[in-house]
Chain A
Amino acid sequence: MKKIYSVVWLVLGSLVLIQCPLNEGQACGWGPEGEMARLSFLDPAISGLKERTPFYYTEEFYYGDQIDPDDKDIERNVNEWMAYLGPEVKRKDFDNAVYETSAEDFLFAIRKGLNQENTFYKKIRSNKLLQDYWVLARKSEFVSFALSTPWREEDYGADKAEDEQINTEQETRRLKAAWNQALMASTDVFLKERNAYQAVVWNRYAEDYNGVIQVFDTHLSKSKSILRPWALLHKANALYHKEKKIAANLALIDVYQSCESRKLRCMQGFDFSLTDKTLALLKNNKDKATGLAMTAARNAGPALPAIKALWQNPEHQEADALLLLTREVNKLESWLYTRSIAGFESSLKEWNEEETYPEYVQKEWLKNPATVKNQMKDLAYLREFRAWMEGVWPGAKGNKADLMALYIGHLFAVEGKPADANAWFQKIKNTSSGIAHQLKLEQLLLLPYLKSLNEAGTQKELAQLLEAWYKDGGQQQWKYKPGSLEAFYAYHFFKVGNIPYAALFSNVLGSQPLNEYTGSEYYASIRFLDRHADLKVMDEVLALVKNPGASPLAAWLVQRSQVNQQTEQVDGEYYWENYNAQPGVNQLLELRGTLALREGNTAEALRTWQQIPEDFWEDAHEFKLWLDQDLFVDAAHWPWEGAPAALYNKTHVARQLLDLENKYAAAKGKEKAELAWQLGNAWYNLSYYGHSWMVLSYGKHLDEATGESYFNFDPNAQKIKETYYGCGKAKEYYASCLQSKPDQELAARASYLSAWIDQKFLPKEERDWDAPPKPPVFSNLFIQWGKQYKNTKVYQERMITCPELAAFLDKKR
């Protein structure tokens, strides 16, 4: 499974030698990171605006890794060089020396006379000016990235100053002087511009901002080379440092419209607090349109006013206009889909433990008035934006018109209006392959609004549509969130009460970023059912998984869940993983038995688990190590006495438990007391607080102990609240033990455990970590226990093993 997030999900403490129960395990957190919860179904790349890629809509502001995806700037630069160097230099040799060889290896090769066959090296060796330029350029490149102390001797006890191998400040000043000198000395026009560019860069690094401006204005301001916008970016920085911030903004607008690779840096350097003043100073429509587009492309909220203004500017660039439309559609999807499907108000930039994770529409906050209002506002804005597009659409031509029709139809689909959506899709004249692919997806997005998902016919059609869409490339398109479509269908099946298919869809995205829990493949595949299934649902799922061929949709889901992917380990190595994200039959039976036991139906649990082959527990059950303890030991002892029982197996647990329950039902008097005592221990140990909690749950988090936030592992939390979190059955059995006239020692034990359980539910005081720890608070039931059983061996033993309790009782005396 692709583990995007490093998750260590369970750590059991092991060195607890004191006798008071302290058996909580700790589950470390899982959390979505930036963008993982954002959903969108419109591929922004469909607009064909590759050079605007960094500004496609994202909650992270920019796609910083997508700068100049077609290397247009580099290509311009190389073309300029190749024209200057002449036909005797081969392009591949230039690329090899300049782009594929490190600065140090390049310099080593020059000094040692290596790479004689390379035409670029040959050329520069025959031209001293050229060689001087490249040697200085690559030395500069090395210094830009060099550490002053590669040996990091200061970390190893040496004096840093003594060890410093490169004084970077001094080197910067030296290089600035060298480039200024080279600029003055050069007579070759081409090299003069190159030297001027380097002089601009190194004057800036040396913080000589006047120098930057002077060199640029004198040598590069009228250049046709790619160097002009590149150098202008540095001039903008110099202007900014000289407090000429509006002038800096104006320079950045120029750079933005003149080259590709620096667009992102223009946006990053632009002082948006001066937007109005900057735009007011722009003299021509072209610059005004660029300024408007830049500011609108940074707007994370509704940008319709800016879009309208841009639309009215006769010199706006088509790419900017399309970019803003695409961003707006993606924004609306993010707001509307993310809320309903992923269960977040908006895409998450960082995990906050106060947030809840997606539980689909069940979460209370979705009914929160503010959330409802936001949903309505977003829908209203969707309609406003769409209506504006519909209004300007007649004026659009060609590809732009087709894209707008697609966008309008898509927004109808987002709103769940299939008739309107399809009407707009039919207005598309030229269906490019990208648009055709998107239209296939649109049919999938519309299906839940057209037909009942609970109908077998619809399910069959859905399987066919999914198959066709994935065959056509599926979610390979750029920047789709993998698993979005599965999340969409998990949500819609859940909405119509079809838990089996909701679970299977949820599992397909088991290895995808939308999955809430990725710590365990075993659990990931049953997680959804653990939370939402009952025995009837389990039987339906079992039927689907046992015979997927009977349902085309189930067959497709099982096949689709085959994961075969490379996963990166911590050290950067990769390994292959193969597995199916859907649970196997034994896993489902294992869960079914667990659900039965949670309901208190031990016989049904045993019947279910008996269908599982014995070796499953040893070979495939991920949590077997938590199932190795004797269920019936005195729950007051931790760690429990004696060797592990080596059960490894829930079937054995259920068999023993059922046997005891049957004996208990028939027993009387002291025998009944003894059996009740054992059953009380068993159910205590099966509870959240006991050492065999893994029999009933699949994980444990400390936050669960508060009883308020069933946080990570909430297996039908409300359903098993009483038994699992409340120790209800344990309490009943201990009470039965006490009613059955046990001897004093046994009574002392049972009474002690009753008090101990009572204590679990005392209000907890927030620990003040700056103050010394307070003595633990004990249940008042212990006072009665102390009085009643003072003369028992159990009492004496407890006083030794739990000195805190002894101190408490001492005080109460």
Chain B
Amino acid sequence: MSLRFLLFFVFALLLDSCATKQDSGLEAGIYYWKTNWDFTAQDQRRADSMQLKTLYLRLMDVDWSEGYQDAVPVAEMRAFSYWSLRPPTQKLVPVVYITQRTWTELTEQQVNQLATRLARRLIKFKDHWDQTVVTQRAQAISKDSLGNYDYQLYEASEEKIKSTFNFKRPVEVQIDSDWTPGTRAAYFRFLELLKKQLPAHFTLSCTVRLHQFRDREKNGIPPVDRGMMMVYNVADPTQKNTQNAIFDASLIKGYLKGNQYPIPLDWALPLFSWSVWFQQDRFMALINDLEKEVVQKNPWTFQHQEGNRYTLLKDTVIGPHYLREGDWIRVESPDITALEQVTEHIRTQFRPDQCTIAFFDWHHIKDHSEYEKNIQRCMARLR
């Protein structure tokens, strides 16, 4: 029995060391933007091999509800079960996305209430997550070869783990919402209230979009501890003249000018792609699953025109879409040259240090080995 405990604590210490944030330098992180937690052991190994230190987890969306006449949670992350979840060894940052219309519709009192509700939810989420880690560690040593649990051993282990577990380690939570001068007052007030209601060891961050960075006088600086600079989605994809709505180095450099931002920044870079479908130059739809390599492998269907544009040579059904001969698509993704140009620009202009470079998002990256290389090259460029 004592040998089991000894082995267990070695294991527990190892896990703990993995779960805590490194104190200095640039780190890579990742956004996990799905509604279900499905992070397998293989995913864990993959994330480790990419040296990803932080996982930004989409916890829920919040949207205005016409029926409730209030803000309500939408598509909250499910599968938080003490007994089934595999916690990642990465530092975890829960992210809540709040729609813009929420700020135009909520009353002042409802803004207060939303801050209270979210603070409670985020604290509970963190407690829940900690409990999951404790539970799983206790399980690991109390399970026999047949998969049965020795509950006495389990309870004893859980107590011991709790006595050494750092429940007050620094924790970051993030709000993602696109504010404008018109919604700024409500949003910033919400952030202030939220910050007040979170415990002292919680860091509050929020996303900052390119136009908010550039036009900071008009848009204001959010009252948070850190900002996450979203360096993508630079143009309107529905416009036929847009070159690359996801990532356009020259446009981005135009936004990223001027002094340092008044609050510390982390940086988010895109690693995803989509195709934009036009019929007679009229925007029809974004097609998420149609990637460059698929298009290039089918020259009898997609005829290359110039840059990232292709013309349909025959009628083609893609998912729910019926693309007709003569239509055209624009395949958009951040190419590595553009990414390197922008990261170089960030390095020389803003000298980022002590921050995370987060990539969006995990489900695109894990299926594309070239994205993994892109992460390495971006990180190398920044260091």
Contacts and interface: CB of A to CB of B under 8 A. Distances in A.
Contacts of B141: 15
B146 A146 contact: no
B36 A571 contact: yes
Contacts of B70: 165
B289 to A, nearest CB: 10
Q: Which of B35, B67, B143 has the most CB of A within 10 A?
A: B67
B280 interface: no
Contact of B38 (A11, A12, A569, A702): A569
Interface residues of A, number: 34
Contacts, number: 74
A15 B4 contact: yes
Interface stretch (A19-27, A35-43, A606-614, A804-812): A19-27
A623 to B, nearest CB: 18
A143 B68 CA distance: 9
A108 B104 CA distance: 13
A103 interface: yes
A787 to B, nearest CB: 31
Interface stretch (A152-160, A228-236, A333-341): A152-160
Contact of A151 (B4, B35, B73): B73
B345 interface: no
Given A156-B121, A571-B34, A572-B36, A150 B68 contact: yes
B258 interface: no
B140 to A, nearest CB: 7
Given A107-B67, A571-B34, A17 B145 contact: no
B143 A104 contact: no
Interface in A139-177: 139, 142-143, 146, 150-151, 153, 156-158, 165-166
Contacts of A14: 145
Contacts of A17: 3-4, 7
Most buried by A among B4, B66, B146: B66
B347 interface: no
Interface in B40-82: 64-68, 70, 72-73
Contacts of A16: 144-145
Contacts of A139: 67
Nearest to A570: B38
Interface residues of B, number: 26
A807 to B, nearest CB: 17
Instruction: Classify the interface of chain A: helix, strand, loop or mixed.
Output: loop
Given A17-B3, A17-B4, A151-B117, A111 B145 contact: no
Instruction: Specify the main secondary structure of chain B where it touches its partner.
Output: mixed
A15 B140 contact: yes
A105 interface: yes
Interface string B84-117: 0000000000000000000000000000000001
Contact of A104 (B38, B66, B147): B66
A391 interface: no
A556 B91 CA distance: 54
A22 B143 CA distance: 13
Contacts of B3: 17
Contact of A111 (B36, B66, B72): B66
Nearest to B117: A151
B143 A13 contact: yes
Contact of B146 (A13, A143, A151, A158): A13
Nearest to A146: B67
A103 B34 contact: no
8 contacts: A16-B144, A24-B146, A104-B65, A107-B67, A156-B120, A158-B117, A569-B38, A570-B36
Interface of B: 3-4, 7, 34-36, 38, 64-68, 70, 72-73, 117, 120-121, 124, 140-141, 143-147
Given A14-B145, A15-B141, 12 more contacts: A17-B3, A23-B145, A24-B145, A103-B67, A104-B67, A143-B67, A150-B65, A150-B73, A153-B117, A153-B120, A156-B124, A702-B146
Interface of A: 11-17, 22-24, 26, 103-105, 107-108, 111, 139, 142-143, 146, 150-151, 153, 156-158, 165-166, 569-572, 702
Listed from nearest, the 8 A-B pairs whose CB atoms lie closest are A13-B145, A571-B36, A142-B67, A150-B72, A108-B66, A104-B66, A16-B145, A107-B66
